[in-house]
Chains A and B, each alone.
Chain A
Amino acid sequence: MPAGTGAHGPAGSGKTLPERGLLLLMVLVLLPLGAASSPDISHKEVLDHKAADAPHNFTKKLFPVLSLDYKHIQTPFEISLWVLLASLMKLGFHLIPRLSGIVPESCLLIVVGLLVGGLIRLAGEKVPPVLDSRLFFLCLLPPIILDAGYFLPIRPFMENLGTILMFAVVGTLWNAFFIGGLLYGVCQIQQDNPSNLHQLELLPCLLFGSIVSAVDPVAVLAVFEEIHINELLHILVFGESLLNDAVTVVLYHLFEEFSGVGSVTVMDCFLGIISFLVVALGGVLVGAIYGILAAFTSRFTSHTRVIEPLFVFVYSYMAYLSAEMFHLSGIMALIACGAVMRPYVEANISHKSHTTIKYFLKMWSSVSETLIFIFLGVATVDGPHTWNWTFVTVTVILCLVARVIGVVGLTYVINKFRIVKLTTKDQFIVAYGGLRGAIAFSLGFLLDNDHFPMREMFLTAIITVIFFTVFVQGMTIKPLVELLAVKKKQEAKRSINEEIHTQFLDHLLTGIEDICGHYGHHHWKDKLNRFNKKYVKKCLIAGERSKEPQLIAFYHKMEMKQAIELVESGGGVKLPSAVPSTVSMQNIQPKKPPPAKPVERALPQLPKGREEEIRKILRSNLQRTRQRLRSYNRHTLVADPYEDGLGDLLLKKQKMIELEKKIKDMTNYLTVPAAPPDSPTMCRARLASDPQAYSMKPVSDSVPTIQVDLASPQSPDSVNLMDEFRRADHQQEEDQGLMMKPPSGQRAPNKPAEADGAREQQKLMRCLSDPGPSADEDEDEPFLP
Chain B
Amino acid sequence: MGSSSSSMTNIPDAQQLIQETGFSAAHILRLYERFEFLDKDKRGELRQETVDFASFVRILAHFRPTDTSRTRDGAQQEPANSSTGKLKSAFQLYDQDRDGKISRAELLQVLRAMMGIQVTEEQLHSIAERAIQEADLDRDDAISFDEFRQSLEKVNVDHKMSIRFLK
What residues make up the interface of A, taking CB atoms closer than 8 Å to B?
Answer: 159, 232, 419-421, 490, 492, 494-498, 500-505, 507-509, 512-513, 515-518, 520-521, 547-549, 551-552, 555, 611, 614-615, 617-618, 621, 624-625, 628, 669, 671, 673-676, 698
Contact = CB atoms under 8 A, between A and B. Distances in A.
B130 A512 contact: no
Contact of B114 (A520, A551, A621): A551
B19 interface: no
A490 B151 CA distance: 13
Contacts of B158: 419-420
B65 to A, nearest CB: 5
B152 interface: yes
B132 interface: yes
A424 to B, nearest CB: 13
A698 to B, nearest CB: 6
Contacts of B152: 497-498, 501
Interface string B60-79: 10010100100000000000
Given A419-B164, A698-B139, A625 B122 contact: yes
A723 to B, nearest CB: 30
Q: Tell me what chain B mostly uses at the interface: helix, strand, loop, or mixed.
A: helix
B133 A618 contact: yes
Nearest to B37: A517
A420 B126 contact: no
Contacts of B65: 419
Contacts of B63: 509, 512
Contact of A495 (B31, B111, B151, B164): B151
B26 interface: no
Given A515-B38, A517-B37, A628-B120, A555 B126 contact: yes
Contact of A517 (B34, B111, B120): B34
A232 B118 CA distance: 34
Contact of A513 (B111, B115, B132, B163): B163
Contact of A505 (B37, B129, B160, B166): B160
A406 B115 CA distance: 46
Contacts of B8: none
A521 B65 CA distance: 14
Given A495-B151, A501-B152, A669-B139, A555 B127 contact: yes
A503 B111 CA distance: 10
Given A509-B163, A549-B118, A628-B120, A502 B34 contact: no
B134 A420 contact: no
A507 B114 CA distance: 8
Nearest to B162: A419
Given A492-B154, A508-B90, A614-B133, 13 more contacts: A421-B68, A498-B151, A498-B154, A500-B111, A504-B93, A505-B160, A507-B114, A520-B165, A551-B115, A552-B127, A555-B123, A618-B130, A675-B122
Contacts of B156: 232, 420
Interface of B: 31, 34, 37-38, 60, 63, 65, 68, 90, 93-94, 110-111, 114-115, 118-120, 122-123, 125-127, 129-136, 139, 141, 148, 151-156, 158-166
Most chain A CB neighbours (cut-off 10 Å) among B126, B159, B160, B164: B126
14 contacts: A420-B156, A494-B154, A495-B151, A498-B155, A500-B110, A500-B114, A502-B155, A508-B161, A509-B161, A547-B118, A614-B134, A618-B133, A621-B129, A625-B126
B123 A625 contact: yes
Contacts of A501: 90, 148, 151-152, 155
Nearest to B63: A512
B133 A505 contact: no
B103 to A, nearest CB: 12
Nearest to A503: B114
A673 B148 CA distance: 20
A141 B36 CA distance: 58
A503 B155 CA distance: 12
A561 to B, nearest CB: 13
A618 B129 contact: yes
Contact of B133 (A502, A503, A515, A615): A615
Nearest to B35: A515
Closest 10 CB pairs of A and B: A497-B151, A518-B165, A621-B126, A669-B139, A614-B133, A673-B129, A420-B159, A497-B135, A549-B115, A419-B162
A667 B102 CA distance: 23
Nearest to A668: B139
Most chain B CB neighbours (cut-off 10 Å) among A421, A505, A614: A505
Contact of A555 (B114, B130, B153): B130
A583 to B, nearest CB: 16
Contacts of B134: 495-497, 611, 614-615
Contacts of A698: 139
A404 B38 CA distance: 48
A373 to B, nearest CB: 33
A340 B96 CA distance: 39
Given A419-B65, A420-B158, A501-B152, A621 B130 contact: yes
A783 B28 CA distance: 70
Given A419-B164, A512-B163, A671 B133 contact: yes
